[in-house]
Amino acid sequence: MNLILFGPPAAGKGTQAKRLVETRGYIQLSTGDMLRAARASGSELGQRVSKIMDEGSLVSDEIVIELIDEQLQAHRDAPGFIFDGFPRTVSQAEALDDILEKRGRQVDLVIRLVVDEDALIARVTRRFEEEGRKDDNPATFVNRLEKYNADTAPLIPLYAERGKLKEVDGMADIDTVSASIDAALRAAGGH
């Protein structure tokens, strides 16, 4: 099962992905987490992406595609993958198709967490106060939302046309969102 958790930043993708890791043993592939880890390690890659991330802009497609490819290689026998925060552009989506195809896999399901932007801004302001992530500061977050609407939202009709898209109310409480995701996974044949 190859599942994309789709939605704007702070829609709850990471929270839901972690639940699926616990309940189903899927592997979570969060490019945001990978980039934050690279930055924390002080690696050359981390230094290269640090400023871009703090601004709330997107790092290059090549960087994130390579990170995903490496992780798919490292976890060849996983029962499923959850793509969280990837793909974020049309060319990342095309690259994902290619790298899955070369492993005899495909995108099975795209779950879009549908959320209200004003409520998201409130959620992120709270997260900024609690966790202090620089890119959660309200001005930067608005930039991240704009990037999502300009670069990432165009993927919605692409997956809808393929019959892969399932929309879930991301404003519901965490357990309700999890139950809706579970139902969508079962309907798509996931275990």
The catalytic residues are 13, 88, 127, 133, 144
Show the 3-state SS of 77-126.
Answer: CCCCEEEECCCCCHHHHHHHHHHHHCCCCCCCEEEEEECCHHHHHHHHHH
**Distance from first CA to last CA of the chain, Å, rounded?**
8
Here the tokens at position 191 are 């275990």
Nearest to 155 by CA among 82, 98, 53, 85: 85
Instruction: Give the single-character DSSP code of 12.
Output: S
Q: Could you tell me which stretch among 86-94, 95-103, 158-166, 178-186 binds ligand AMP (CB under 6 A)?
A: 86-94
When CB distances to ligand AMP are compared, the closest residue is 32
> What's the CA gap between 138 and 122, in Å, rounded?
9
Beta pairing, strands 109-114 & 2-6: parallel
**Cβ 56 to ligand AMP shortest distance, Å:** 5
Q: Which of 32, 80, 170, 190 binds ligand AMP (CB under 6 A)?
A: 32
Q: Could you tell me which stretch among 56-64, 71-79, 95-103, 183-191 binds ligand AMP (CB under 6 A)?
A: 56-64
Nearest to 117 by CA among 32, 15, 8: 8
Q: Which of 58, 110, 113, 185 binds ligand AMP (CB under 6 A)?
A: 58
What is the side-by-side order of every strand in the sheet holding 165-169?
Answer: 27-30, 81-84, 2-6, 109-114, 165-169
Binding flag, residue 29, ligand AMP (CB under 6 A): no
Binding flag, residue 170, ligand AMP (CB under 6 A): no
Give the residue with the Cβ less far from ligand AMP, 146 or 186: 146
Binders of ligand AMP among residues 109 to 138 (CB under 6 A) are 135
Q: Which of 1, 64, 111, 145 binds ligand AMP (CB under 6 A)?
A: 64
Binding flag, residue 142, ligand AMP (CB under 6 A): no
Binding flag, residue 56, ligand AMP (CB under 6 A): yes
Positions in the binding site for ligand AMP (CB under 6 A): 9, 31-32, 35, 52-53, 56-59, 64, 85-86, 88, 92, 135, 144
